[in-house]
Amino acid sequence: MIKDKKNIKAEIEKIREDLHRHNYYYYEKNESLISDVEYDKLLKKLEELEAGNPEYKSKNSPTVVVGGGLKDSKFTKVTHKKPMLSLSNTYNLGDLEDFDKRVKRILNKDSIENENTQVDYILELKLDGISISIHYEDGRLIQAVTRGDGKVGEDVTENIMQISSIPKYLKKNVSIEVRGEIVLPLTEFESLNKKRLESGKEIFANPRNAAGGTLRQKDAVIVGQRNLDAYIYYLADSEELGFETHIESIKYLEYLGFKTTKIYDLCETIEYLGTRIEYWEKERNNLDYETDGLVIKVNNLSLYDELGATTKAPRWAISYKFPAKQVTTKLLDVTWQVGRTGKITPVAELEAVEVSGSMVRRASLHNYDEVLRKDIKIGDTVFIEKAAEIIPQVIKPVKELRDGTEKEIVPPTNCPVCNSILEKEEGLVNLKCMNPHCRAKLQGKMEYFISRDAMNIIGGAKIVEKFIELGFLKEISDFYELHLKKDELEKLDNLGSKSIEKLLSSIEESKKIDYSKTLYALGIPFVGKFLGGLLSRESKNIENLAVMEVEELLSIDGVGEKVAQSVYGYFRDEDNMRILKKLKDAGVNFEIEEVDERAHLEEFVGKTFLATGKLIHFKRQKSGRTRECKSSH
């Protein structure tokens, strides 16, 4: 038992040490060594260990103190008049139901039956930025202080003055304290990283790091150049100022000239709260700032004192965290993947981890130059995220956690599939397999050809791989000869007659696909969906496109030198022309269907129409003269 206690004490001390370290990097260096989810798990574990072993509790534990300790502060330290508490976190609706019950229990100590008492909640976005407290005297901004450790923050008034969305003077001469979040809009974040990349500087991992690093600049001019933004979400002493609800106080802040998210949903039930959470989990991707969750607050301000707070968080509010976009995991190895064009892509083999609700074991490293630029090594702890919520990619290594066992990533000299010597095209960063018969390139072309946005043929990677292996598919035109092998196909394992019928039927249907999609499906380098549509409209049919010279292609608005040369070269390749002939002979559509617009007008001949409503841009007496009618858009 004594030994167990010693182990528990050691574990508690180790977790505290780790959390203090993470807090230091997060709050003072604006860097994350682990994801929010992993941090919250560690904190939860520490809370449970301390609760079960109260003799090891400490007033300096991360379960008690908020934020970082400002050890390396370059700014004047300021004590908050009211502590800037953090919020308790949850990742599931069940915890929100418990929060609702807990609130009602505190408000109805005398009767458990009164838990059905109505409590209204306000749902707001939880912005992923830097918390700030701003003080005004007689309507004039006099001081701005960061959260710090919740009790003491840093005076960043001069830098805050550079943020245009923070009013320097209010519409009323009032003395108040407001709290909000400093963020870097996503558009500004992308622009900033692009400039840093061009100048050879290390890019910021995420908008929060960029906002934090900017706010702690000693040169206020740099702050002004980076276009930070601010959203205010809290008016201190709201009740003393005469407000009864949180919504009233937010609307007052808007009246004074503060910028808010304008998102404060009133939720009378936990069920409705769940509906709004589901909505914002999708809708947040359309915002121009990062939000990592939602904040749920009791709307009635008079209940705040009764509900109270712990040493770290108020009991009248809780945050619901969205599934993590970024998490950390171990980079176990790197494999090299061959694409349809022969491009060799490094793929990170990872220790399995959940990202945005799904398990991830592999992630893109883009190209070898990117590996070198980010200084990624095998054995690193790395941050990964899902680009556009779909494709996992490695963002950066956590160099602070290296122990010396990490290994350099070495690029291959030969194709991992066909063993051909790899080449690097002039002016490009990608290694490429130039072997036209490489099996991996063939499979990539086939999968691309039948994809949903192209010919939309039922099948997928496994079917393509199997048919290539059996010799049924050697080039894309072979799809239109599979019907001749129907008897052989039906004998294959795991492919019944119904599956074969569906496959052959979808191949037949693909012959009617729009010319623009057929053009895209061919996989001409640099010709994606947009250019496929553009080129099909301009050429009308494949014969016209095939004979266009480079100069003709360049005359099309939207076509550049690379695209023109690529399209011109594609139609000068004998093998490509042979395959195109087979596709056309099979009945694949390679022209735009011309529509006689005059035919549709015949039904209107000799008829009179009456239009009612307000006329815009011209007077009623001129309404008969259609040439004077202008669009209101």
Distance between CA atoms of residues 629 and 357, nearest Å = 53
- Give the DSSP H or E segment for 177: strand 176-183
* Residues comprising the chain, all counted: 633
Closest by CA to 185, choosing from 264, 129, 232, 250, is: 129
CB 327, CB 353: distance < 8 Å: yes
**d(C-alpha 436, C-alpha 335), whole Å:** 22
d(CA 533, CA 545): 13
Q: For residues 334 and 426, what is the distance between their CA atoms, to the nearest angstrom?
A: 25
Map residue 375 onto helix, strand or coil. Answer: coil
Is 126 an annotated catalytic residue? Answer: yes
**What CA–CA distance (Å, rounded) separates 441 from 474?**
11
The label of the residue with tokens 């209101």 reads 632
Q: How many whole angstroms separate alpha carbon 483 and alpha carbon 478?
A: 10
- What SS3 state is found at 75? coil
Q: Alpha carbon of 72 to those of 68, 75, 84: distances in Å?
A: 10, 9, 20
Task: For residue 541, list its beta bridge partners.
Answer: 591
How far, in whole angstroms, is CA 299 from its chain's centroid? 31
Enumerate residues 6+ apart whose C-beta is below 8 A from 145.
Answer: 78, 80, 132, 133, 134, 135, 153, 154, 155, 156
Angle in degrees, CA 164, 167, 169, rounded to 5: 140
Marked catalytic residue, from 9, 44, 126, 498? 126
Do residues 523 and 343 touch, judged by C-beta distance below 8 A?
no
Q: What residues form DSSP beta bridges with 309?
A: 314
Provide the 3-class DSSP secondary structure of residue 633: coil
At residue 483, what is the residue type?
Answer: H
Specify which residues 229 forms β-bridges with.
183
- DSSP class per residue in 532-580: HHHHHHHHSBHHHHHT--HHHHHTSTT--HHHHHHHHHHTT-HHHHHHH
Residue 633 has a CB neighbour count (10 Å cut-off) of 4
Residue at 623: amino acid letter: S
Q: How far is CA 573 from CA 49, 115, 523, 545, 576, in A?
A: 70, 77, 14, 14, 5
CA distance 21 to 31: 11
Q: How far apart are the first and last CA of the chain?
A: 79
| Helix segments in 246-353, DSSP class H | 246-256, 270-283, 304-307
List the catalytic residues: 126
